[in-house]
Structure 1
Amino acid sequence: MNAPLTTDKMLSRKEGQVGYLTFNNPDKLNAVSLDMWEAAESYLDAFKRDDNIRVVIVTGAGGKAFVSGADISKFGSERSSKEASDRYNEAVDRAYGAFYDFPKPTIAMIRGYCVGGGVGLALACDMRICTEGSKFAVPAAKLSLGYRYSGLKKLVDVVGPSFAKEIFYTARQFTAQEAQGMGLVNRVLPDGELESYVQNYAETIAGNAPLTVDSVKFIVNEILKDPADRDMAKAEAMVQACFASGDYIEGRKAFMEKRKPKFTGK
């Protein structure tokens, strides 16, 4: 394990081919400030450029929350004017975009509260795996907050329009089981099994052909776009790159030899 990189309330580390990004503000249930969003984007960019990293796990520290939304105590300094608020919103939008457009698989490992911006962050990841005691909520209607099209679209893409409306209309907390029933989370696990399960899942993905996995992520995200905005040329190029790769040869050879393939991403 490499020594973790740290900046204020964010932690980053690598374990083999898996990168970990941790929101580290447990005293405030991992509420996120402007500098945390900016650091998250920076660390994610480092994982993007690291060819050894094939999967990233996103989580929160302290065991009580994944992310509980914005750090309201920072609003006086970070959102005290229109200019400051615009900067904050732009940083959040960039961070969400960085997670959503990250070219490698991402897994949100959720324990405890996943609220407001935490739900937005989880939706920006490819998969969401949580504990049985996790709670999910978007309390915008209790605060008269408006949500932009992009954020609502990501929720609708995952849970559908009716559940998206229920989440916002009621502004209540949903259990892990309810979240799974809506399709908001992929798996629900006993608390003591979460980390080992997610680590094994990440290592399983990391052991598969990265050109295939990354191309599927890109193409699925393109499917969710309006047809006019889809980059079909890049999607086709990524498919062809799989067949032209040394990994394609290695995969067939390993299958014939009944051994585990060793993929390089080339």
Structure 2
Amino acid sequence: MKYESIQFERRGAGAWIILDSPKNMNSVSSTMLGELESVLKECEADSSVKAVVLTGTGSAFCAGADLKNVLSSLNHSEPGTKDFLDMFDEVCGLLRKMPKPVIAAINGLALAGGLELVMCCDIVYAAESAKIGDAHSNFGVFPGAGGAAVLPKKIGLNRAKYLLFSGDFLSAAEMERFGLVNKVVADGQLVEEVESFVEKLAAKSPLVLRRMKEVANASVDQTQDAALRHEMLHLRQHVRSYDLAEGLKAFTEKRKPEFKGY
């Protein structure tokens, strides 16, 4: 299928979603959101996809929303239809709830809505030259996909307020120290590093990764006791799975396990 604002590629066990509107610094448009929704649903349904990678072309990962498109959508949407904000919220929900790992590969600027897309991902790789910031305040725009609501949980309240209020862009290395970025790599090594990580994930049980992601995500808004109960519930279910039996058998037989995801 041909897309207008993204590329969608299968590379081994990974599904690569590449934001591809470099003249607009990969700004998010309604068209892009519709295409993202389609491919994310495809990735979720395809059991051969073991991990999803989100990256960009050109000098930006994503410089935020296309503000002209946002205003047009909000001013001209028909009653009962989705506007830009609805669509962005749905795409972010698909990323957060994807039952397999989602990796952000930040190739350049990740600002405002671009940062919010990054925060929806499970693992974040960033090129050395990447710059990351909120930037909403620079244009009097209020965030709506996690800038103010999720960023404090990711990097701490005071650091989040600094990014939100100042609109400054920080380096990938600084954001790694803040805890948002997992790994900073040389600019020319980003794709190779992420592909290697996808291969590592592909060897794991997709069932255990899905359950780990669900429990870890839920734990952020739970008490420790509630999170532990949630974990035990999943463990009780997991002990009856094929993948656990296969993993233990492979360990005993000193071979690599062959997981099936159930």
TM-score normalized by the length of structure 2: 0.91
Closer/same/farther in 2, CA of residues 192 and 121 from structure 1, 3 Å limit: same
The equivalent position to 1:205 in structure 2, one of 194, 201, 204, is 201
Counterpart in 1 of 2:138? Answer: 142
**Amino acid in structure 2 at the alignment position of 1:65:** A
Give the 3 Å change call, closer, same or farther, for CA 146–262 of structure 1 in structure 2: same
Seen in structure 2, the aligned counterparts of structure 1 residues 71 and 263 have a Cα distance that, compared at 3 Å, is: same
Question: Residues 218 and 235 of structure 1 are in contact (CA less than 8 Å); yes or no, is this contact kept in structure 2?
Answer: no
Q: What secondary structure does 1:152 align onto?
A: coil
Q: CA deviation at 1:16?
A: 2.6
1:126 aligns with 2:122: yes
Aligned partner of 1:172 among 168, 175, 181: 168
Alpha-carbon distance in 2 for matches of 1:37, 1:235: 33
Determine the C-alpha separation between the residues in 1 that align with 2:110 and 2:25: 9
User: Residue type of the partner of 1:72?
Assistant: L
Equivalent position of 2:47 in the other structure = 51
Give the whole-Å Cα distance in 2 for the aligned partners of 1:241 and 1:53: 23
Give the superposition deviation at 1:80.
3.3
Q: Is the 8 A contact 1:124 1:154 kept in 2?
A: no
Instruction: Judge conservation of contact 1:212–1:239 (CA < 8 Å) in 2.
Output: no
CA 1:240/1:14 → structure 2, altered by over 3 Å: closer, same or farther? farther
Aligned AA for 1:97?
Answer: G
Alpha-carbon distance in 2 for matches of 1:249, 1:226 = 30
Cα distance in structure 2, aligned partners of 1:128 and 1:96? 15
Distance 2:155 2:255 in 1: 39
The answer to whether the 8 A contact 1:211-1:241 is kept is: no
Instruction: Identify unmatched segments of 5+ residues in structure 2.
Output: none
The partner residue of 2:72 within 56, 77, 85 is 77
Provide the rounded CA distance (Å) in 2 between the counterparts of 1:141 and 1:115: 11
Shift of 1:241: 3.3
Instruction: Look up the match of 1:249.
Output: 245
Q: Secondary structure at the match of 1:244?
A: coil
Moved more, 69-78 or 9-18: 69-78
Cα deviation, residue 76, structure 1:
5.5
Q: Distance in 1 between matches of 2:208 and 2:3?
A: 34
- Aligned position for 1:66: 61
TM-score (norm 1): 0.89
Contact 1:66 1:114 in 2 (8 A): yes
Greater CA deviation, 67-76 or 40-49?
Answer: 67-76
Contact 2:110-2:132 at 8 Å conserved across structures: yes
RMSD: 2.3
Query: How far does the alpha carbon of each residue in 1:114-167 deviate from its partner, in whole angstroms, 9 at most, with x for none?
Result: 111000000000011001100011111121122348542321121111111111
Query: In structure 2, how many angstroms separate the alpha carbons of the residues matched to 1:240 and 1:212?
Result: 12
Question: Structure 1 pair 36/102, CA: closer, same or farther in 2 (3 Å)?
Answer: same
